[in-house]
Amino acid sequence: MTLKNTPERWGAVSQALHWLVVLLILAVATVGLVMDELPRTPKYFWVYTAHKSLGITVLALMLLRLGWRLYAGGVPPVAGTPRWQATVASATHWLLYALALAMPLSGWLYDSASGLRPFRWFGLFTMPKLTGPNEWLADRARDAHELLFLLLVALVVLHAAAALWHHLIVRDETLARMLPRRRTRTPEPEDPDHDA
């Protein structure tokens, strides 16, 4: 596998960034949903710090990823993809980039405007505040954070469903070329007892 992207498949850097961000977003979203249920006492504040730290990590990786995408280019749709599908896919990809950047930014703004306590990234260094305490701004940033999350969930579902549809129904290379090992797509024999 090459580092850079080729017309046939995503290179190692794009793949690593893609799947790393997938794992981090799953983790940060899980922690984010769980922490809303926790008592707001110092005993559990590390959970909030973990959520914020994971989010800032996503932000940093997404900036790297955006830079790499602009430098290394994308991979064109597999041959024969209808134009409308390519357009929807491309729009989804760029919206996902935008949301994966806007989510941590709105969270960071919410944290800053709340002004409750210092935010140390995984306890290692203190993150700068984007703004001083501002209750109005904190409320807006929190609303945005929640709304963007719902949008992100909707787009991730669309994106993943499309990838699985390509892989399982259309049986083309769309998903396989974002996977580390090249899967030779020999059609499996139809076996009614075997769940694919």
Partner 1 sequence: MTPRLTTPAAVAAMLVAMMAAPARAADYVQAPGSSLAFATKYDGEVFSGRFGGFDTKLRFDPERLDDARLEVTIQLAGTSTGNADRDSTLAGSDFFNVARFSRATYVAERFRAVDDGYVADGTLTLRGVSRPVALHFTWTPGNPALLSGRATVKRLEFGVGGGDWADTALIPDEVAISTRVFLHPAP
17 three-state secondary structure: helix
Q: Which helix (H) or strand (E) holds 164?
A: helix 135-164
- In the bound state with partner 1, the residue whose beta carbon lies nearer, of 85 and 131, is 131
Q: Cβ 42 to partner 1, closest distance in Å?
A: 5
Residue 114 sits in the site that holds partner 1 (CB under 8 A) = yes
Interatomic CA distance for residues 38 and 45, integer angstroms: 9
Q: Which C-beta is closer to partner 1: that of 53 or that of 174? A: 53
Among 133, 154, 164, 185, binds partner 1 (CB under 8 A): 133
125: β partners: 121
Q: Which is nearer to partner 1, 36 or 193 (CB)?
A: 36
**Residue 43 Cβ, how far from partner 1 at the closest point, in Å?**
5
Residue 116 touches partner 1, criterion: CB under 8 A: yes
Counting Cβ atoms within 10 Å, is residue 97 exposed (0-12), middle (13-18) or buried (19+)? middle
Nearer to partner 1, 3 or 38 (CB): 38
Q: Is residue 146 at the binding interface for partner 1, with CB under 8 A as the rule? A: no
Q: Show Cβ contacts of residue 118 under 8 Å, excluding neighbours closer than 6 positions.
A: 126
Q: Does 182 bind partner 1 (CB under 8 A)?
A: no
Task: Give the containing element (helix H, strand E) for 101.
Answer: helix 83-114
**Stretch 19-78 residues interacting with partner 1 (CB under 8 A):** 40-43
Angle among Cα 20, 23, 26 to the nearest 5 degrees reads 145
* Nearer of residues 25 and 113 to partner 1, judged by Cβ: 113
By the rule CB under 8 A, 117 interacts with partner 1: yes
118 binds partner 1 (CB under 8 A): yes
CA nearest to 141, candidates 91, 103, 196, 90: 103
Structure-token pair, residue 115: 């002004």
- CB of 36 vs partner 1, minimal distance in Å: 11
Q: Give me the residue label for tokens 């090459």.
A: 2
CB of residue 118 to partner 1, shortest distance in Å: 6
Nearer to partner 1, 42 or 189 (CB): 42
HSE on the CB side for 158, CA within 13 Å?
Answer: 15
- Judged by the rule CB under 8 A, the positions of this chain that interact with partner 1 are 40-43, 114-118, 133, 135, 138-139
